Structure 1
Amino acid sequence: MQIVSRTALALTLLAGSFPVLAQTHWGVEKTMHIGGTGGWDYLTVDAPNHRLFVPRSTHTMVIDADSGKTLGDIPGQKNAHGVALVPQVGRGFITDGGGAIVVFDLKTYGVLGKLASEPDSDGIIYDRASDLVLAVSGDKGVLMTIKPGVDPVNGKIDPPIELGGAPEFLAVDGAGKAYINLEDKNQVAVVDLKARKVIAHWPVAPGGSPVGMSIDTKGKRLFIGCRKPAKMIVMSTETGKVLSDLPIGDGVDATRVYGGQAFASCRDGSLTVVGETAGKFGVVQTVKTASGARTMDVDAMTQKIYLPTAEFEPQAPGATGRPKAKPDSFTIVVVSRQ
């Protein structure tokens, strides 16, 4: 019974309650050296089992969240981006930008099969309300839906839903709607999952180039990480009205909601913490993490945030673009309540 209770608590917190709580100070607890080859994108926490799933370009690592030990390695991807977990059927789903959704076993980490997908499959989540895995294709501008029990060898994804722009990441309200960032249109597309169509496009101005997204389902708000300019946009899920815009660091890639606060992880090595007091939103803390730590996920059971990154080669004066990661230097920065 204790395990069931803790799991239910984690799911409730991760769903996005945003109550007014006492301010909490966050700081870096430790940095775990993981090593291995490949880049990285979205990290996914499996809170009940204390595991981290981390796509590394051509493979996806399964890491013990406490020790940093590698528990498994799922091979066979061309350009892995994200992982969705569906414990009810014992499966995980990996978006491979090379044109596939990889289905794997959550116990053995063995690959069960690959579903042909639209190219550049990227952000992926599981929606418990509709019992669908949702994934987006940036190049094709569509939302893809997958039934968790699909035949992983001969099955197919559902017909795609046209979005009207290039999607990056998404969130669901648990009541039949999905909200999807359209990075090239500076909009959020609202999808009715039952009707399988877009029912609204909401601008994110004064933000632009929206990428990170998370949701407070009880408060009915979206927290959208924008790159151009660098802002966190707080948006009503009922009307699309922008309720607040707040400064964040450069190169955001993810936002999360937890424990009465919202977070934005940025490539410049900052984690912005946003709080709400009497209906007003504001930046309450900026945590120094590490350069390149642009994505993250939160473990609601342990109250820790995990951010993947690496050490980088120094760039020449005037050089632009992403710096090159040093070989075998992949790490995970752990941020916790102090």
Structure 2
Amino acid sequence: MKKKILMLAVLAVSCLLVNAQKKTGMHLLATHAIGSNGGWDYLTVDQKNNNLFVSHGNQVNVLNKNTGDSVGVIHNTQGVHGIAIANALGKGYTTNGKTATCTVFDLRNLTVITQINVGQNPDATFSDDYSQKVFVFNGKSHDATVIDPQTDRVVATIPLGGKPEAGVSDGKGKIYVNIEDTNEIVCLDSKSFVVLSRYKLIGGEEPTGLAIDRVTSRLFTVCSNKVMLVLDAKTGKHIAKLPIGDGSDGVVFDATSKLAYSSNGEGTITVVREVSADKFVVEETIKSEPGARTIALDTVTHHFFLPTATFEKSTTEGQKRPKMIPGTFRVLQYGK
């Protein structure tokens, strides 16, 4: 009996050691202070020029992604949300929520090239490497604006039937976008600009961040009811439902490590491992800071970045979020 108990104890310790080895080793490497005031939303990495673009109130702050040094500022982007990078043409695009426009700028010297009128309250955006088009998702007009970066003209407006959030491309001609108020993912054709299918999210409410594994055709969507859903991008079939922290507004997938990171506004990062195309597990919960709800991945260094600030402890009646303390805005950098 004693020998059996000893063997069980040894087995339990071995299991603990195995679990301990599964920790990612990702931790806070640096904090990059940005002195100006204002809220924030998305941030985007420009791999080619080694820059990190951070939406911040009515401007975009640009940092060197490797050092955290300030590179410059793109001004007059009123109510900016997202930044798209079109490296093939050396251009960037900001979505300016308050003016229903996109600011086009030069990626090398950050000078403004032009302004483009888009839909109402443009929010998330990205540049599709397959179609070579920039997709802008408009929150209030419930549609997507498609921009040709060759001419900087709008070539299509796609009705989406609901409030869009983040979008991704499969690199083969299909675009996927979360629809927050209808709890679904819409699939678009990136060449014909038509809706191909709608995937209803079962058990997921108010989806925000979206990521994709192009190799296995898996979509990762994070929802306000503290779950991450994994879907088959080709069919919409639900593969997994995983618990995450509260207040997630972003998720990224590292194709090298096969890890998905959910940035949770409560002050945590949920790490999900893709064991196989049909098996996903929560591997770790990393401590971040309250308010750090969006995330950007550097696919070269495998570091990721989250913006946040320090807030007052209490809120006034009717105020959804606590008030930000001026001068505390910063970007958190995580890595090994």
Partner of 2:263: 265
Measure, in 1, the Cα distance between the counterparts of 2:107 and 2:132.
Answer: 17
Partner of 1:294: 293
Measure, in 1, the Cα distance between the counterparts of 2:317 and 2:285.
Answer: 27
Partner of 1:10: none
How far 1:295 sits from its partner (Å)?
Answer: 0.5
1:232 aligns with 2:233: no
Tell me if the contact between 2:315 and 2:322 (Cα under 8 Å) persists in the aligned partners: no
Give CA deviations for 1:83-106 in whole Å, capped at 9, x if unaligned: 111122111000111210110011
Residue number among 273, 276, 280 corresponding to 2:274 in the alignment: 276
Return the letter of the residue paired with 1:272. Answer: T
Measure, in 1, the Cα distance between the counterparts of 2:52 and 2:325.
Answer: 22
Partner of 1:209: 206
TM-score (norm 2): 0.89
Measure, in 2, the Cα distance between the counterparts of 1:327 and 1:163.
Answer: 37
Measure, in 2, the Cα distance between the counterparts of 1:281 and 1:66.
Answer: 31
SS in 2 for 1:160: strand
Aligned residue pairs: how many?
Answer: 312
Tell me if the contact between 1:307 and 1:334 (Cα under 8 Å) persists in the aligned partners: yes
Residue number among 161, 164, 169 corresponding to 1:167 in the alignment: 164
Measure, in 2, the Cα distance between the counterparts of 1:86 and 1:159.
Answer: 18
Tell me if the contact between 1:34 and 1:68 (Cα under 8 Å) persists in the aligned partners: no
Cα 1:285/1:318, change in 2 over 3 Å: farther
TM-score (norm 1): 0.89
| 1:70-149 mapped onto 2 (5 Å cutoff) | 70-97=70-97, 98-149=99-150
Measure, in 2, the Cα distance between the counterparts of 1:66 and 1:119.
Answer: 35
Return the letter of the residue paired with 1:74. Answer: I
How far 1:311 sits from its partner (Å)?
Answer: 1.1
RMSD: 1.7
Return the letter of the residue paired with 1:244. Answer: A
Give CA deviations for 1:37-85 in whole Å, capped at 9, x if unaligned: 2111101011233211011121111112233222111111211001111
Partner of 2:188: 191
Give CA deviations for 1:208-254 in whole Å, capped at 9, x if unaligned: 10010011011100000111x11111000011011001111111111
Measure, in 2, the Cα distance between the counterparts of 1:330 and 1:168.
Answer: 24
Measure, in 1, the Cα distance between the counterparts of 2:319 and 2:119.
Answer: 31
SS in 2 for 1:150: coil
Residue number among 246, 249, 253 corresponding to 1:250 in the alignment: 246
Measure, in 2, the Cα distance between the counterparts of 1:192 and 1:88.
Answer: 21
Measure, in 1, the Cα distance between the counterparts of 2:265 and 2:318.
Answer: 17
SS in 2 for 1:24: coil
Cα 1:282/1:72, change in 2 over 3 Å: same
How far 1:276 sits from its partner (Å)?
Answer: 2.7
Cα 1:32/1:238, change in 2 over 3 Å: same
SS in 2 for 1:48: coil
Return the letter of the residue paired with 2:295. Answer: M
Tell me if the contact between 1:297 and 1:307 (Cα under 8 Å) persists in the aligned partners: yes
Bigger mean CA offset, 215-224 vs 68-77: 68-77
Percent identical among aligned pairs is 35
Measure, in 2, the Cα distance between the counterparts of 1:171 and 1:285.
Answer: 25
Tell me if the contact between 2:119 and 2:144 (Cα under 8 Å) persists in the aligned partners: no
How far 1:110 sits from its partner (Å)?
Answer: 0.9
How far 1:32 sits from its partner (Å)?
Answer: 1.8
Return the letter of the residue paired with 1:168. Answer: E
1:329 aligns with 2:325: no
SS in 1 for 2:88: helix
Partner of 1:28: 28
How far 1:31 sits from its partner (Å)?
Answer: 1.6
Tell me if the contact between 2:49 and 2:108 (Cα under 8 Å) persists in the aligned partners: no
Give CA deviations for 1:5-42 in whole Å, capped at 9, x if unaligned: xxxxxxxxxxxxxxxxx763221122222221211110
Cα 1:319/1:283, change in 2 over 3 Å: farther
Pick the structure with greater CA Rg.
Answer: 2
Return the letter of the residue paired with 2:222. Answer: G
Return the letter of the residue paired with 1:124. Answer: T
SS in 2 for 1:313: coil
How far 1:196 sits from its partner (Å)?
Answer: 1.5
Measure, in 1, the Cα distance between the counterparts of 2:70 and 2:36.
Answer: 10
How far 1:318 sits from its partner (Å)?
Answer: 8.7
Partner of 1:59: 59
Give CA deviations for 1:252-290 in whole Å, capped at 9, x if unaligned: 111100021111001101110001335421110010001
Tell me if the contact between 2:289 and 2:308 (Cα under 8 Å) persists in the aligned partners: yes
Give CA deviations for 1:176-212 in whole Å, capped at 9, x if unaligned: 1111100000000111122221111111111110010
Return the letter of the residue paired with 1:270. Answer: T
SS in 1 for 2:48: helix
